[in-house]
Amino acid sequence: MNNTVILPRGGFFLSNDTNKLSIFALGGVNEIGKNMYAIQYADDIVIIDCGSKFPDETLLGIDLIIPDITYLLENRDKVRGILITHGHEDHIGGLPYILRQFPMPIYATRLTLGLIEGKLKEAKLLGGTERILIHSESEVQLGSIKATFFKTNHSIPDCLGIVFHTPEGVVVHTGDFKFDLTPVNEQYADLHKMAEIGKAGVLALLSESTNAERPGFTPSERVVGEYIVEEFHKARQKVFISTFASNVHRLQQIIDAAHVTNRKLALLGRSMVNVVTIASELGYLNIPEGMIIEPAEVNRFDSSRVALLCTGSQGEPMAALSRLARGNFRHIEIHPGDTVIFSATPIPGNERNVAQTVDDLYRLGAKVIYGSGSVTGMHVSGHASQEELKLMLSLMKPQYFIPIHGEFRMLHQHRLLAEAVGVEPGHTFILNIGEVVEIRKGIARQAGKVPAGNTHVDGLGIGDVGNIVLRDRKHLSQDGILIVVTILSKSEGKIVSGPDMISRGFVYIRESEGLLDEANRLVTDVINKLQTENINQWSTIKSHVKEVLGRFLYEKTGRRPMILPVIMEI
Amino acid sequence: MNNTVILPRGGFFLSNDTNKLSIFALGGVNEIGKNMYAIQYADDIVIIDCGSKFPDETLLGIDLIIPDITYLLENRDKVRGILITHGHEDHIGGLPYILRQFPMPIYATRLTLGLIEGKLKEAKLLGGTERILIHSESEVQLGSIKATFFKTNHSIPDCLGIVFHTPEGVVVHTGDFKFDLTPVNEQYADLHKMAEIGKAGVLALLSESTNAERPGFTPSERVVGEYIVEEFHKARQKVFISTFASNVHRLQQIIDAAHVTNRKLALLGRSMVNVVTIASELGYLNIPEGMIIEPAEVNRFDSSRVALLCTGSQGEPMAALSRLARGNFRHIEIHPGDTVIFSATPIPGNERNVAQTVDDLYRLGAKVIYGSGSVTGMHVSGHASQEELKLMLSLMKPQYFIPIHGEFRMLHQHRLLAEAVGVEPGHTFILNIGEVVEIRKGIARQAGKVPAGNTHVDGLGIGDVGNIVLRDRKHLSQDGILIVVTILSKSEGKIVSGPDMISRGFVYIRESEGLLDEANRLVTDVINKLQTENINQWSTIKSHVKEVLGRFLYEKTGRRPMILPVIMEI
């Protein structure tokens, strides 16, 4: 036995000495949203997910953020395709933008593909995109990498975890998951398959960290259904209920509650209609015949026989529930005594909008059920809490661990959980986007970077709004702009017209005539003085005007508007 | 006995038939912060508090919001003074701005006055302001209104509730309060006095609603002290702890924890130094001799012998803890193994900043205790929960009730609590700012409005930034500005110079030459065409340029920059 060679796990014999396995994220680590990961072996790159995220309040005017795919564009010939774990925006929202730059084949399950196809159709990209339908038992060969799959529980049906069989060993990507042992619609997770994968040996695990700060075990989705039915029973008038349109399990439970309480159901809000249509066409929603009615029909029924399923659970100002709360929705009004249920917990950053909507609803006299789902019972998370994360780690028993989907503190807490269940210290990699973990002969190390970053979508522009434009927007938003237009005569060396002052977002001109008159005199003096001294480079004149005017205005108003001297010469 | 006249409560005999009692808010109802209330009887107006609040993200560039005091300015001769319930910003923050417009006498307790004087000194208003020191046993006659006081518990010492004895009856204003039966520093509330006030008869109660949505009874401040001591004991290295500087009880408990664990204490952050100085000078903080050290001295002590009390519990980017987390604080570094405690719950809207700070701290290797105080034990609220609000209502037994301090849903919940403990339906008034409750001969009704609103502070300007300026800032922040400068010759009827395009916050000019060249041609064509047609009113030319250019740019970029045509004629 002394001569036995201990082989590194993961298939040393298949490995080519010069080849290596690389794992990196183009989005989704040290951030929430915009998920995009890559597994590369030799000349084969496989992508997982292509999400978007919303900008924070510092990125003024930006509509959406998607991953920077420079690395993929530079390695076009190596990219074998993109596997999608599930149909949430933070996993599919980037597709219409990325595919326009770089068409590649998409692999996804039925519901996920249905939702993606809706997006691609809108973006006029459906025809040009190769789409491959997969399911949990599929095997996909992508160059030297083979992908197999396992079912997981999450707040949308048809979710997959992915197993990558590479010459270097097995890499598992969980996608989003929880362990829901009493799932809605029989969407059971492949618990036994996960156990087998772990038993056969996992070289590296990428597991999601959204709830890594949360102790315990996330409650089953089914629990929410019981609370909903109870409120539907209690209500004597209309029931409005709002949740994430994509939470198809929740939609099913709301449909069921309407059914057992003998209510018709109206769908309010574009994305709600959209998801219910796709999900029911594909068989993921079971809707009793004749239950769904049009908004215009609502008033034909007794108020105790109607429920309304609305968008707007996050208080989004233009969503159905917010418009209803403001009394601004065609055909439908909320009356005193109606019940309104928020079947969602406000996401940090959305509290103010939700609170505003609740205030408006109370003003209308409604009974409102709102606040954290853990208090109201009206919402549970779709993500694994600490005990479930430990369960996944214990099933997979990975040699190396890469926590994904989360900001640093979540990845950090996930590392602590991993170490608590036996992942060796030093075997966890907390990555920034672009940072590469390289595995060769069973040994992992962090090695180099690929280009990665945020690409801003603004209107039709993808990536054309950079730091200079954003810095200007920031400046303009705080103190506005003061434009100073002057015409100089080249021949005579003096001011022919102006200086004229135009203020936007700084002061209201009619109320600030004194201030601007004084500013005008200052600018005139500066320019005249420079002309007398024969200093007539525009750049010098401009910088003098900026300096003198900036100092004067700050002294008088405590503000620093952008000052834009425009000098024309004739 | 049959002839006994049943008198309305509140002193019918003193009342003059033509006189009446009015109660209204200039700030603090249907909003959080900016508290300012008024009690008026005949020609006597008494003000309660003068707070400020921070603008939400829609009020671009605005620094602070204070109450609109038009009504007080219009009734200068009637205002008898301003009573301050306690020293928090939402109760005193407006003073430096309001007193500049309208000097009036201020009545406050010792600590409150100390904090106010700090503000007035900075604003150079100390000399010109009459300040009257009061305590819980003071009696203040303000025209026909006499004010007496009772002590309450809150997250700052020296808080008062106010009892207004008017010819029409007694009006009670609670200020901010909780019932803390084991308070820190022996700051007991006047429970028996409250009972007596209620027994003698209260015509109207104004009670705070901050936690009216929260069931139960807010835990005692003392509980937090035990958790803090425990962590101080466990820590083997430096302990950084952050809380609201104004929470003097918390500061005392942190000082005590440092004392029992034999640590020196350094104060980091201007407001922390400021409050500790004022509170200890006035005897509200008990600091052991030699305990406080300068930040520069910290490194002279063993790390296990030092604690650091910091500003920044809400993740404010420029506060001490945030700068420490970024490794950007003079003299002091956070090392792996140091402990950092957030002794505060993130206020909605601040979660992202707090999360960013926690991420940075974890990157430094610190042990971080963060999150909701109800989970960590490191924070309790200073405001009454539902059972305490019911206790106050039960003690005061008011005939009429005006819930204050809160957004609509809180006021609404507070009304439900009041009705649950016996306030008659219809006797609760939920007011908007400016709306007046009028009481005459014991009967209250809502009657009319006084001017009220938000006054914006921007730099040195008070109230000069109105809707037009804000709308422009909003527009500029989203899509920037494109300025088109053209010089026309009056005599020749043609373009002499330009059109020149200047973009700020719209597109980056160097990367958009094609777009702007095309725009240039369009504008040239429009102006030339109008000149040919002899249309040369500037307003017509400008509106044509705006329209053509706006349509073109939206088509090409999906954005709508502000378009500013500047036409000069020579």
Per-residue pLDDT, A489: 83
Please name the member of A30, A56, A473 whose beta carbon is closest to the beta carbon of B352: A56
Q: Give the separation between CA B249 and CA B548, rounded to whole angstroms.
A: 64
Chain B residue with the nearest C-alpha to that of A489: B570
3-state helix, strand, coil in chain A (%, to 5): 35, 25, 40
Check CB contact of B550 with chain A, cutoff 8 Å. Answer: no
Residues in chain A closer than 8 A to B56 (CB atoms):
352
DSSP for A432-446, please give it: PTTEEEEEETTEEEE
pLDDT tens for B82-131 read 999 999 999 999 999 999 999 999 999 999 999 999 999 999 999 999 99
CA B466 to chain A, closest CA, distance in angstroms equals 8
**Interchain contact, B355 vs A409, CB within 8 Å:** yes
- Write down the pLDDT at residue A188: 93
Chain-wide mean pLDDT for chain B? Answer: 93
State the average pLDDT over residues B146-152: 98
Interchain CB contact of A281 with B (< 8 Å): no
Rg (CA), chain B: 29
Q: What is the mean pLDDT of residues B274-278?
A: 95
Question: Helix H segments across A102-220?
Answer: 110-122, 191-200
Residue B383 is a catalytic residue = yes
Report the alpha-carbon angle B166-B84-B461, nearest 5: 120
Select from A57, A362, A476 the Cβ nearest to the Cβ of B473: A476
Peptide bond into B346 cis (omega under 30): no
Taking residues A172-196, report their average pLDDT.
Answer: 95
Q: Cβ separation of A477 and B61 shorter than 8 Å?
A: yes
Q: In the predicted model, what is the mean pLDDT of residues B497-507?
A: 90
Determine the Cα angle at B358 with ends B357 and B362, to 5°. 120
Q: In what order do the strands lie in the sheet with A562-569?
A: A494-504, A481-489, A562-569
Strand-pair partners of A485: A500, A566
Binding site per annotation, positions of B for Zn(2+)? 86, 88, 90-91, 154, 176, 405
Of the pLDDT bands very low, low, confident and very high (cuts 50, 70, 90), residue B492 is: confident
| Portion of chain B with pLDDT greater than 90, in percent | 83
pLDDT score recorded for residue B18? 61
Between the CA of residue B146 and those of A199, B44, B172, B404, what are the distances in Å? Answer: 81, 11, 12, 22
Measure the CA–CA gap between A245 and A265, rounded to whole angstroms. Answer: 15
Q: Do B566 and A368 touch (CB under 8 A)?
A: no
Q: How many CA atoms lie within 13 A of B123 on its CB side?
A: 20
Give the type of residue at B200: A
Cβ–Cβ of A485/B409 closer than 8 Å?
no
Q: pLDDT of B453-481, one tens digit each?
A: 999 999 988 888 888 999 999 999 999 99
B306-310 sheet: strands from edge to edge: B292-293, B264-268, B306-310, B239-242, B339-342, B367-369
Is A184:A59 a contact under the CB 8 Å cutoff? no
- Determine the average pLDDT of the residues in B418-434: 97
**What integer pLDDT is reported at residue A46 of this predicted model?**
98
Question: How confident is the model over B55-90, as pLDDT tens digits?
Answer: 988 899 999 999 999 999 999 999 999 999 999 999
The type of residue at B399 is Q
Any idea what the Cα angle at residue A122 is, between residues A116 and A127, rounded to 5°? 75
Q: Does pLDDT of A383 surpass 90?
A: yes
Distance CA A456, CA A56 (A): 12
- Say if strands B239-242 and B306-310 run parallel, antiparallel, or are unpaired: parallel
Distance of CA B246 to the CA centre of its chain: 13
Closest CA to B413 of A502, A41, A398, A355: A355
> What crossing angle do the helices spanning A351-363 and B408-420 adopt, rounded to 10°?
50
Q: What is the ipTM of this complex?
A: 0.86
Best probe of the A interface among B342, B478, B484, by most A CBs < 10 A, is: B478
DSSP state of A8: P
Closest residue in A to B462 (Cα) is A557
Give the pLDDT confidence score for residue A18 in this predicted structure.
62
Q: How far is CA B140 from the centre of its chain?
A: 27
Tell me the C-alpha distance between A518 and B526, whole Å.
Answer: 36
Q: How far is CA B187 from CA B162, B229, B248, B381, in A?
A: 17, 21, 11, 16
For position B13, what pLDDT does the model report?
Answer: 39
What does the pLDDT average to over A143-158? 97
Sequence length of chain B is: 570
C-alpha count within 13 angstroms, C-beta hemisphere, residue B523: 30
Helix (H) or strand (E) holding B565: strand B562-569
Degrees to nearest 5, angle at CA B541 with B535 and B544: 115
Confidence of residue B12 (pLDDT cuts 50, 70, 90): very low
Inter-chain touch B371–A213, beta carbons under 8 Å? yes
Question: Given this model, what pLDDT does residue B2 score?
Answer: 39
The pLDDT of residue A4: 39
Please tell me if residue B31 touches chain A, with a CB cutoff of 8 Å: no
Tell me how far apart the alpha carbons of residues B385 and B220 are, in angstroms, rounded to a whole number.
12
Of B75, B63, B35, nearest to B463 (Cα)? B63
Interface probe for B, chosen from A369, A473, A552 (most Cβ of B below 10 Å), is A473
Q: Which helix (H) or strand (E) holds B539?
A: helix B538-557
For residue B467 the two structure tokens come to 């809707």
Chain B partners of A502 at a C-beta cutoff of 8 Å? 564, 566
C-alpha–C-alpha distance, residues B325 and B323, integer Å: 5
For A552, the token pair is: 């004067």
Res B568: pLDDT: 85
DSSP structural state of residue A509: G
Residue A6 has pLDDT above 90, yes or no: no
How far is the C-alpha of B528 from the C-alpha of B532, rounded, in Å? 6
Give the model's pLDDT for residue B570. 79
A507 contacts chain B (CB < 8 A): yes
What is the spatial distance between Cα B504 and Cα A505, in angstroms, rounded to a whole number?
14
For residue A458, list chain B residues with Cβ-Cβ distance below 8 A. 557-559
B483 closest CA partner among B555, B529, B549, B427? B549
Cα angle at B431 between B425 and B437, to 5 degrees? 75
Nearest to A154 by CA among A185, A174, A177: A177
More confident of the two residues A249 and A492: A249
Torsion of CA B252, B258, B260, B264, to 10 degrees: -130
Instruction: List, in order, residues 6 or more apart from B306 with CB less than 8 Å away.
Output: B238, B239, B263, B264, B265, B266, B293, B298
Residue A303 touches partner B, C-beta closer than 8 Å: no
Q: What is the mean pLDDT of residues B269-295?
A: 95
- Indicate if the pLDDT at residue B1 is higher than 60: no
H/E stretch holding A67 = strand A64-67
Binding residue per annotation — A338? Answer: no
Rounded to whole angstroms, the Cα distance separating A371 from A364 reads 18
How confident is the prediction for chain A on average, in pLDDT? 93
pLDDT at B10 over 70: no
Residue A445, number of CB atoms within 10 A of its CB = 11
pLDDT value of position B537: 79
- CB-nearest to A564 from B363, B460, B502 is B502
**Radius of gyration of chain A, Cα coordinates, nearest whole angstrom:** 29
CA distance B210 to B31: 10
pLDDT in tens, A408-436: 999 999 999 999 999 999 999 999 999 99
Helix (H, G, I), strand (E, B) or coil at B188: coil
Tens-digit pLDDT profile for residues B511-535 = 788 899 999 999 999 998 888 887 7
Find out whether B229 and B38 touch, Cβ atoms under 8 Å: no
Quote the CA–CA distance of A383 and A465 in Å, as a whole number. Answer: 34
DSSP 8-state symbol, B300: G
**CB neighbour class for B8 (10 Å; exposed up to 12, middle 13-18, buried from 19):** middle
Query: Residue A509: what pLDDT?
Result: 76
Assess contact for A81 and A121: CB atoms under 8 A: no
A427 is in an annotated binding site: no
The distance of Cα A447 from the centroid of its chain, to the nearest Å, equals: 28
Determine, for residues A480 and B473 on separate chains, whether the beta-carbon distance falls below 8 Å.
yes
Please tell me the distance in Å from A459's CA to the nearest CA on chain B.
Answer: 4
| The pair of three-digit structure tokens given for residue B171, joined into one six-digit string | 């009006």
Which among A385, A408, A502, A564 is the top mutation candidate for probing chain B, defined by the most B β-carbons within 10 Å of its own β-carbon?
A408
Q: Is A321 left (phi over 0), alpha (psi -120 to 50) or beta?
A: alpha
Beta-carbon contacts of residue A127 (< 8 Å; ≥ 6 apart): none
For residue A536, the model assigns a pLDDT of 73
Positions of A annotated as catalytic residues are 208, 383
Looking at the complex, report in whole angstroms how far the Cα of residue A428 sits from the nearest Cα belonging to chain B.
15
Q: CB–CB of A568 and B498 under 8 A?
A: yes
Instruction: List, for residues A200-250, the tens digit of each pLDDT value.
Output: 999 999 999 999 999 999 999 999 999 999 999 999 999 999 999 999 999
Q: Binding site membership of B: which residues? A: 61, 63, 86, 88, 90-91, 154, 176, 245-247, 379-383, 405, 458
Taking CB atoms and an 8 Å limit, are B480 and A472 in contact across chains? Answer: yes
Mutant choice from B416, B481, B502 vs A, greatest count of A C-beta within 10 A: B481
% residues pLDDT > 70 (chain A)? 97
CA pair distance B469, B467, nearest whole angstrom: 6
A215-219, B2-6, B290-294: segment of lowest average pLDDT = B2-6
B353 versus A533: the higher-pLDDT residue is: B353
Which of B348, B358, B478 comes nearest A352 by C-beta?
A: B348
- B502 CA to chain A: closest CA distance, Å? 9
Helix or strand run (H / E) with residue A140: strand A140-142
Selecting from B213, B351, B477 the residue whose C-beta is nearest the C-beta of A60 gives B477
- Cα separations (Å) of B272 from B241, B253, B269, B299, B314? 12, 15, 5, 20, 14
Of A30, A362, A508, the CB nearest to B468: A508
d(CA A357, CA A341): 12
- Residue of chain A whose alpha carbon sits nearest to that of B410: A359
B14 Cα distance to chain centroid: 38
Cα A248 from Cα A284, distance rounded (Å): 8
Placement of tokens 């997250």 in the chain = B155
Residues in chain B with CB shorter than 8 Å from the CB of A351 are 348-349
Question: Least CB-CB distance to A476: which of B477, B485, B554?
Answer: B477
The CA-to-CA distance between both ends of chain B, in Å, stands at 97
Q: How does strand A339-342 pair with strand A159-166?
A: unpaired
Residue in A with minimal Cα distance to B505: A469
In order of start, what are the domains of chain B with their CATH numbers?
20-216+382-462 (3.60.15.10), 221-376 (3.40.50.10710), 470-569 (3.10.20.580)
- Give the rounded percent of residues in chain A with a pLDDT score beyond 90: 84
